[in-house]
Structure 1
Amino acid sequence: MKTIKVTAGIVGPQDNITLICKIAEEYTDKLDYISFVYQNADETTTIVENNQNLVDIWIFSGVTPYVFAKKSTSQQPFFYPELNGSSLTNELIKIKYNDHKNLNNVSIDLLEKHDIYETFHDLDLHYDNLYLYEYPGFTNMEEIITFHESLFNDGKVEVCITCLNYVFEHLKTKDIPVYRVTPTRANIRQIINTALQQWETLHFKHSQIATILIKVEDMDKNRNHNTIPYDLHRLNLELQSAVINFSESIFGSFVTLGVGAFLIFSTRGSLIETGRQVGDLLEKLALITDLPSNVGISYGDTALTAEENGRLALNHAQNYESFCAFLVKDDGIIEGPLTEQERISFSFRTENKEFSEKLKQCGVTITTFNKILSVQKRIGNHSLTASIIAEWLKMTPRNARRILNSLVEQGIAEIIGEEAPTSKGRPRKIYRVSNEQNIHTD
């Protein structure tokens, strides 16, 4: 079987690029690369923005170009070798034993505090007078330069250690003793291996079969047993044309399943890479007819699995509301409605027989329970009311209260408080539902 090679864009200053590319040569059977050298790290955003069509993944020399790359529109995988104690050890040995400089008073930026102290301890070096600039989540070059420069000018440090090429070059022009921590060969090999493994996983997922089931309801309610009325036939052709256009846009294969029912086979990668949203299709169908339309999407390793999951997804969409879509992933997780920003993810399986029996006593399916749990997680305050469940799961408040009270009786949920009603009436109970792992079963 032919190996599909990944093309990596390698970005950083010249010395780091040279080393990373040298290590990348060890992976020529799996990896091609294009190197992009910058003078300043803030050039990374433009580099990634203008060259994302040339590469599959990006490998950066460090966290600073990685942060700048995040400002681009690229959705490709980003990687960088993390600097750690082994990276610092190389510089400390050079400072102490090659250049014979004092390491009692040192300023260090961006490295993790525990890595620094452990490295000094392992090398039997004193670390009473270390000045550390910890990474705050973004890189302020001028602030880091001032940090080192001020400490040196005030006589508090004799040596500065930086992880940034820009800071290194600037401090050198001021004749400040400065050393730069760079990735070790082991760091680089580790991140290349990680990148290749993640790419293979991603490529496998992108190759999975995707099915999209579209159903326009009630189209055949009034049709004659033997003939399709001309108006219905014209409407079906118009809907079919919209579905075919969508199928073509995602490089899919189109199948008609009957009046108002259509099936598209494509790949997971095509859906993701084209950026086409199923909401666009539902909007087009809504413009053609006011009949309720729904979509079920699924991924699977085989056409049979994908189609079965697609029918499950369509069923969830039909039971939720008109003009919505649900997705069933290859791991069995259901997500939706996809056409709304507020969506939930839930499973429809459980391997716990005792827990399943408790739910049966409540008259609640595992799917409904997982939906309730997902809503609680989505709300974010670890609590629920019957009105919230009724709104999310499209049921009556009375039915929602019945379900929640049944869960309380079986020890799956608890009442944790009450809230005042918005109008006259009894206070509303506030519930907390436990997940399957936290519920005691005898």
Structure 2
Amino acid sequence: MNTRIAVIGSTEFIERIESITSEIAEIDFDAYIYQKPTEAGLLIKTLKPCDAVLFSGALPYYFSKKYHEHLPVPSFYLAQDEMSVASSLLSVLYHKKISPHRISIDVSQASIVTNVLADLEIEMDTSYIMDYQEMLKDSFDISLITCYHQKLWKDGFIDLALTSVHSVFDQLQLIGVPAMRMVDPQSSIFKALQDIKAHTDLIKSRSSQIAVCYVISEEANAHELVDGLAHEIQASVQLLEDCHFILYSTRGDIESLMNRNGLNHFFAQLQKKGTIGFGYGSTIMDADRHAKIALGFAEKHSDDKCGYIFTEDKDLLGPFPQHAKQQRLKNDHPELLQVAKQTKLSPANISKIIQFSHSRQSIQFTAAELEDYLQVTRRTTERILKKLSDHGHVTIVGEEMTYSKGRPRAVYELNLPVY
């Protein structure tokens, strides 16, 4: 299955990515374009389901930090390296015929420039190199980079500004300062994309790791409550004895439950004592053994309601619930409210579909999987999918053969801002 990457960057960077997509196997891209790096955070609110997010550089990554830190998928940025600087200096020398000591440069880390200059035995005034990495720790105004180059040029110290920020290049052009964009070498982009794919493949592999869960509850409706928990983590359930249950799931489903505060919701329904132990492992025997260890810690805890997780790395996580968190019961995301208005689906149904997307390790799904999650009839599910499809919010991307006779089942992907 292909890795889908959301790319957030300038028009020039997106065009650079698109120019090499035919040479990149097993990776799909969704482009999100900003005019200035400061707009990157707002674009995160419009992201559709993906496996990872790639920012064009350190600045958009920094400006959107408070947004991408809460994403359920990993975020990366294309880091500048010596290859980028060397390629850019070579381009300046060949095309512009300008000596390095008449150039000003801005980079996220000055050492990558000084390393290249040292290797090439080129002397250059280090005051012409702006390192904005340290500046990112404070409140940073991107116009400072433009002013830095403008002053050096106005005072006659440089003939060209070499910038790694596309919006700075645009501003320098407007005010008449000769400028050039830092080169993003194809090899650097390839390596970054390969690293992202390897990282996301590792996450998917870990998410599919076996998880066993032991639950002890003295509630009169324990079966009903445990069945609800099993539905949340897509688990099968066995009753070992009265009040004692065992569930089989995956690590990814358990972590998704924790991320959306589902375990706290389960504990909130208990009136009597309840303990839970989760175990992860590469085999079902390992996971089972770790779940029993976690349950043992939960039973020894002084609280009536307690849960622990014991991982394959022998890490003990807990006790849960540590903190009471307020659950968000309303949906005021403007884009999703617009989707609800277009499709005439209730905001509650839209929210459930978003939660369904968050609960899955794959961005693709079938109508049967959505039906099972929503706990509605197949006819209702198909009606929901049709309304979404009619407005382009869900697309059919393939077919899946069933194990019995009948037509192949359609495979869907959401086209919604789910984060």
CA 1:96/1:182 → structure 2, altered by over 3 Å: closer, same or farther? closer
1:278 aligns with 2:263: yes
Alignment partner of 1:331: what SS? coil
Q: 1:235-262 CA deviation, whole Å, 9 max, x = no partner?
A: 43x1222221122122222222222212
The equivalent residue for 2:150 is 149
> Which has the higher mean CA deviation after the structures are superposed, 161-170 or 293-302?
293-302
Within a 5 Å distance, the mapping from 1:134-173 to structure 2 comes to: 134=131, 135-136=133-134, 137=136, 140-173=141-174
CA 1:178/1:264 → structure 2, altered by over 3 Å: closer, same or farther? same
Matches of 1:119 and 1:75, distance apart in 2: 37
Within a 5 Å distance, the mapping from 1:290-301 to structure 2 comes to: 292-301=273-282
Contact 1:13/1:38, CA 8 A, preserved across alignment: yes
Contact 1:326/1:338, CA 8 A, preserved across alignment: yes
Matches of 1:26 and 1:96, distance apart in 2: 29
Alignment partner of 1:50: what SS? coil
Amino acid at match of 2:161: C
Q: 1:346-384 CA deviation, whole Å, 9 max, x = no partner?
A: xxxxxxxxxxxxxxxxxxxxxxxxxxxxxxxxxxxxxxx
Q: Which of 16, 21, 25 is matched with 2:18 structurally?
A: 21
- Cα shift at 1:276: 4.1
1:44 aligns with 2:40: yes
Q: Which of 268, 282, 286 is matched with 1:305 structurally?
A: 286
CA 1:276/1:252 → structure 2, altered by over 3 Å: closer, same or farther? farther
Amino acid at match of 1:319: K
1:80 aligns with 2:73: no
Contact 1:214/1:263, CA 8 A, preserved across alignment: yes
Amino acid at match of 2:115: E
Contact 1:104/1:130, CA 8 A, preserved across alignment: no
Contact 2:234/2:249, CA 8 A, preserved across alignment: yes
The equivalent residue for 1:333 is 315
Task: Structure 2 unaligned segments of length 5 or more: list them.
Answer: 324-419
Alignment partner of 1:9: what SS? strand
The equivalent residue for 1:240 is 223
TM-score (norm 2): 0.70
Contact 1:16/1:182, CA 8 A, preserved across alignment: no
- Cα shift at 1:311: 0.6
Contact 1:105/1:158, CA 8 A, preserved across alignment: yes
The equivalent residue for 2:247 is 264
The equivalent residue for 1:123 is 120
Amino acid at match of 1:101: I
Amino acid at match of 1:110: V
Which of structures 1 and 2 has the larger relative contact order (alpha carbons within 8 angstroms, sep 6+)? 2
Calculate percent identity across the aligned residue pairs. 22
TM-score (norm 1): 0.66
Contact 2:7/2:14, CA 8 A, preserved across alignment: yes
CA 1:62/1:182 → structure 2, altered by over 3 Å: closer, same or farther? farther
- Cα shift at 1:11: 2.1
Alignment partner of 1:176: what SS? coil
The equivalent residue for 1:59 is 54
Amino acid at match of 1:331: D
Alignment partner of 1:104: what SS? helix
Contact 1:24/1:192, CA 8 A, preserved across alignment: no
> Which has the higher mean CA deviation after the structures are superposed, 33-42 or 158-167?
33-42
The equivalent residue for 2:361 is none
Matches of 2:241 and 2:44, distance apart in 1: 46
Amino acid at match of 1:273: S
Within a 5 Å distance, the mapping from 1:174-193 to structure 2 comes to: 174-193=175-194
Contact 1:105/1:129, CA 8 A, preserved across alignment: no
Within a 5 Å distance, the mapping from 1:216-231 to structure 2 comes to: 216=217
Size of the aligned set, in residue pairs, is: 315
The equivalent residue for 2:355 is none
Contact 1:108/1:130, CA 8 A, preserved across alignment: no
Matches of 2:287 and 2:18, distance apart in 1: 41
Within a 5 Å distance, the mapping from 1:384-423 to structure 2 comes to: none
Task: Structure 1 unaligned segments of length 5 or more: list them.
Answer: 220-234, 342-442
Amino acid at match of 2:37: A
Amino acid at match of 1:334: L
Amino acid at match of 1:109: D
The equivalent residue for 1:324 is 306
Matches of 2:277 and 2:246, distance apart in 1: 10
Q: 1:77-109 CA deviation, whole Å, 9 max, x = no partner?
A: 112221112111122122223211232243222
Q: 1:358-412 CA deviation, whole Å, 9 max, x = no partner?
A: xxxxxxxxxxxxxxxxxxxxxxxxxxxxxxxxxxxxxxxxxxxxxxxxxxxxxxx
Contact 1:215/1:261, CA 8 A, preserved across alignment: yes
- Cα shift at 1:61: 1.5
Matches of 1:129 and 1:209, distance apart in 2: 54
Matches of 2:182 and 2:167, distance apart in 1: 12
- Cα shift at 1:129: 5.2
Amino acid at match of 2:278: I
Instruction: State the superposition RMSD in angstroms.
Output: 2.2
- Cα shift at 1:111: 3.5
CA 1:212/1:185 → structure 2, altered by over 3 Å: closer, same or farther? same
Amino acid at match of 1:321: S
Matches of 2:232 and 2:174, distance apart in 1: 56
Alignment partner of 1:75: what SS? coil
Matches of 1:338 and 1:5, distance apart in 2: 36
Contact 2:310/2:317, CA 8 A, preserved across alignment: yes
User: Which portions of structure 1, spanning 4 or more consecutive aligned residues, are displaced by more than 4 angstroms?
Assistant: none
Matches of 2:185 and 2:254, distance apart in 1: 39
Alignment partner of 2:45: what SS? helix
- Cα shift at 1:207: 0.7
Matches of 2:152 and 2:297, distance apart in 1: 63
Contact 1:205/1:268, CA 8 A, preserved across alignment: yes
Matches of 1:52 and 1:326, distance apart in 2: 33
Amino acid at match of 2:84: S
Matches of 1:104 and 1:6, distance apart in 2: 43
1:314 aligns with 2:295: yes
CA 1:129/1:206 → structure 2, altered by over 3 Å: closer, same or farther? closer
Amino acid at match of 2:43: I
The equivalent residue for 1:108 is 105
CA 1:129/1:264 → structure 2, altered by over 3 Å: closer, same or farther? closer
The equivalent residue for 1:230 is none
